[in-house]
Structure 1
C-alpha cells in the first residue's frame, strides 16, 4: 500500500535518523532511503577529523539554541521534543557510548566516526530500511493522497509520505524541485569557512595557534573570541569558523573581502597594554626583548611581532623606543589583516539558507503547504556554529519527523 510507504530523500545523518526511527516506531511502514551519490553518511565520516562530533554537551536548550546563527527559535521548539540527553541515550541503547571533551564537543568513546556509521547501518538493516544509491531526484509531485518521486535516471517511486533530508545545496537552482511544490527558499550561502590572507607575512607562521584571540570584522558588529590557528593560506580555528557562521550573509555580501582586526591578548586593550608595558620596562629592563616573552604567546608569534615593529634582536626592555612600542601594542591588540577570499573548512562545509522555516511545523517537521511532506536537517534554513550543533539539529529534526510520520 502506497500510504504505508515512506521515502526519505538523502543518506546523511538527518535522513538516516528519520528512516531508522520511522521504521522502528511503525513496523508496518515500508521505508526506502534514497541517496543521490555513491556514498552514505559522508559528513559523518569526515566530521571532527574522522572522529565524528556527534553533539554538544550543552547545559540546556536555551544555551544550545543560541549557537544557531539561523533558526534559533525553530530549534528551540524542536529541542523540547528531542535534545542532547536523548541523543546520548539513543546511541547508548545501541552500544555506542559518547564522551564530552573540555570544549563541550561530544564524540564516540572509540574516537572513530565509523562507530556511528556502523550503528546507523545496523539499525537500518534491523528494521528493513531499503537503501538505494545513485538515485538523484528530478521532480517531486503530489499524486492523490501520496507522492510521486521521479529520479534523474527515469525511475519513479510512489509513497504516501516523503521526508526531504537532502542536505544544504550550494546553489539556489538546486532547490528548484522543492520550489515547484510552492516552498520558498532562503538563498544559500557558505557558512563555516576559513579566511584567506594572500601575501600576508603572518602566513609564514603556519601551524602556530593561540588559545584565545578576539577577532573583529572592521566596519561591522561581527566579533568573536576563541582559539585561533594560523595556516599557510590565512587563519582558521574555532574563533574564525564561528565568526564565519555568524557573518555568513554579511561576509558574502562583501564578496569575502574585508579586514579582520585581531587582538592576540584579549585581556588587554591598547591603553591597558601600554600601562603593562611601562611596568615591564622596569621589571625586565636589562633583559633582551627577543629572549623574554612575558605574555604567554607562542615564541614564534612574539618574535614576529617584534620584527614587524622593527625592534632589533639586541634591544632591551628598558631601551625600547616609544615609536616601536606603539607599533608593538597596535600589532598585539588590533592587528589589521586584510582578507581576500575563503576556504572550506576541511570537508565540513555547511551552508546557511534553505527551505523557509515559517513554512515548516517545528513540532512535526511537516510542511505547512504540502501535507505528507516532511523535512529534516540542513535542507531547512537552520545552521549552527562548529562544535556538534549541526549534527544535533540533524538528529533532532530526523527524530521529530520520524515520530510524526509513525503517528500517522
Structure 2
C-alpha cells in the first residue's frame, strides 16, 4: 500500500530535520515525513564537535563566510545572503537554544552538549506532526504520472510512498548518488576531505600532544595552510593540516596520499631572519646549552627535538655552534621536510568532497534543474567546508532555502 505524504525528505540528519521543521513552520497544512535508513536519527549531530555539536561559526559576513568552502564558494554567496550564521543563531534562540562563541570563532550550545540540538529537533518534529520513520532504506525512486499529476514514488524495503515533492538530504550516500545518475544527474566522484596526515619521523615520534602555530606547504603544489598544528601518535593533525586536506582533497587523492610537506614551525619567519636571530642568541647565551630552553614560541620538547635533528648534541653550548649547525637549525625551524604516507579519517570529522554537480542545481531554491519538485539539502551536493561549524551552516542554509521555495 502506498503511504501518502505531500513531501518526503530522505535522510534523518541535520539537513533533513532542519528542512522538515522549516517547511512545516511555514506551511502547517503540509504532511511531511523524514525517512532514515538507520535505527537512529541525527547521529552525526550527536558525535560532532567531540559530542558538543559545532553548530556554526561566528563569521557573519556572507562574502567572508564563503571563503571557508573549498567547493561551493561561488554558489553559496546568494544562499548565505538569505540565511547566514547570524540567522542560525537567531533560529536556535527562537527555538530555546542559546549558542556561545569560543575563542577560535566556533559556536556551540551553551549546554556544551549535542543532545540539546537533538532534543530541539525531535521536539519540533513532534510538535509539528512531522513523521520520523526509521529503518527506511530507500531502494528505488521513480517519476510517475497519475491522472496528469507528476509524482515521485519512493520504495524502501518495507514501504512505498507517493509524494509531489521529494527532498534528498542523504549526505555522502553512494546508493542515492547512483539512483540520481539514472535520472541523468552528474555526480562528481567523491574523495575524502578533512583528514590527518600519517607521518613516521624520529623528530616527532616522542611528541604526541604537542601543538603549535605553523605554516604547512605541500611540495610541488600551491597548497599552503597556516594554523594550529597538532602532533599525534600517527603523525600530524590540527586545523593547519585539516584545512590543507580540505583544499587539497582532490590533489592529495591523485597523489594516493604519498607526498612531501614543508613545515615552518615559526609560522611566517624566513631563513635569513632566523639565522640572524640564532647568531644573536649565540652571542647572548654563549655559555648556555642550546637544547635546554626554546628561545621561540615552541614547546621545549619540540625545540629540543629540532636541535638534535640539526646535528647538535644535547649538551652543546651556544658558543660552540658552527656556521653549518646554525644553518641546519634554521632550516629545521622554517623548512622542516616530512614525508606523508597515507591519511587517517575519523568518523566524527568525516566529510566528503564530491556529490551532485553544482551546475545542475538552482541555488535560489536548491531544486534540481533537470527534474521539477526534486530538491537537495546538505552534503549530498558537491559542497564541503573546512572544520569549524561550516559544514553544518551549509546544512542549515540549504534546508532553509528549500523550505522557502516550497509552497
Distance 2:375 2:341 in 1: 39
Question: What does residue 95 of structure 1 align with?
Answer: 96
1:113 and 2:111 are equivalent in the alignment: no
Shift of residue 103 of structure 1?
1.1
Q: 1:195 aligns with which of 190, 197, 202?
A: 197
1:310 and 2:311 are equivalent in the alignment: yes
1:363 and 2:368 are equivalent in the alignment: no
SS at match of 1:310: coil
Question: What does residue 167 of structure 1 align with?
Answer: 171
The answer on whether the counterparts of 1:3 and 1:161 sit within 8 Å (CA) in structure 2 is no
Query: Structure 2: where are the runs of 5+ without partners?
Result: none
Shift of residue 200 of structure 1?
4.8
Q: Deviations over 1:246-288 (max 9, x none)?
A: 0000000000000011000023111110111111111122211
Query: Structure 1: where are the runs of 5+ without partners?
Result: none
Q: CA 1:32 to 1:141, structure 2 compared with 1: closer, same or farther past 3 Å? A: same
Shift of residue 206 of structure 1?
0.7
SS at match of 1:66: helix
The answer on whether the counterparts of 2:293 and 2:303 sit within 8 Å (CA) in structure 1 is no
SS at match of 1:106: strand
Question: What does residue 156 of structure 1 align with?
Answer: 160
Shift of residue 310 of structure 1?
2.4
Question: What does residue 233 of structure 1 align with?
Answer: 234
Distance 1:175 1:65 in 2: 25
Question: What does residue 270 of structure 2 align with?
Answer: 269
Shift of residue 346 of structure 1?
5.0
SS at match of 1:281: helix
The answer on whether the counterparts of 2:229 and 2:241 sit within 8 Å (CA) in structure 1 is yes
Distance 1:166 1:245 in 2: 20
Question: What does residue 147 of structure 1 align with?
Answer: 152
Shift of residue 327 of structure 1?
1.7
Q: Deviations over 1:14-46 (max 9, x none)?
A: 011011111221111111001111221111111
Distance 1:39 1:56 in 2: 27
Map 1:202-217; keep pairs closer than 5 Å.
Answer: 202-210=204-212, 212-217=213-218
SS at match of 1:204: coil
Distance 1:155 1:121 in 2: 23
Question: What does residue 340 of structure 1 align with?
Answer: 341
SS at match of 1:80: helix
Q: CA 1:281 to 1:58, structure 2 compared with 1: closer, same or farther past 3 Å? A: same
The answer on whether the counterparts of 1:286 and 1:318 sit within 8 Å (CA) in structure 2 is yes
User: Which deviates more from structure 2 when the two are superposed, residues 345-354 or residues 355-364?
Assistant: 345-354
Output the aligned Cα RMSD. Answer: 1.5
SS at match of 2:88: helix
Question: What does residue 125 of structure 1 align with?
Answer: 126
Q: Deviations over 1:35-92 (max 9, x none)?
A: 1112211111111111111001003001100110001111111111111111101100
Q: Deviations over 1:115-152 (max 9, x none)?
A: 1111011111110110111211121111122100011x
Distance 1:270 1:226 in 2: 20
SS at match of 1:183: coil
Distance 1:313 1:231 in 2: 24
SS at match of 2:349: coil
What is the TM-score normalised by the length of structure 1?
0.96
Distance 1:250 1:313 in 2: 40
Q: Deviations over 1:348-381 (max 9, x none)?
A: 1000110111111111111111101000000000
SS at match of 1:33: strand
Distance 1:343 1:12 in 2: 24
The answer on whether the counterparts of 1:216 and 1:222 sit within 8 Å (CA) in structure 2 is yes
The answer on whether the counterparts of 1:2 and 1:160 sit within 8 Å (CA) in structure 2 is no
What is the TM-score normalised by the length of structure 2?
0.96
Distance 2:205 2:122 in 1: 42
Question: What does residue 402 of structure 1 align with?
Answer: 403
Shift of residue 201 of structure 1?
4.3
Distance 2:130 2:293 in 1: 63
Distance 1:206 1:174 in 2: 40
Q: Deviations over 1:90-114 (max 9, x none)?
A: 1001110011111111111111111
Distance 2:294 2:178 in 1: 57
Distance 1:18 1:4 in 2: 15
Distance 1:373 1:346 in 2: 29
Shift of residue 290 of structure 1?
2.0
User: Which deviates more from structure 2 when the two are superposed, residues 41-50 or residues 214-223?
Assistant: 41-50
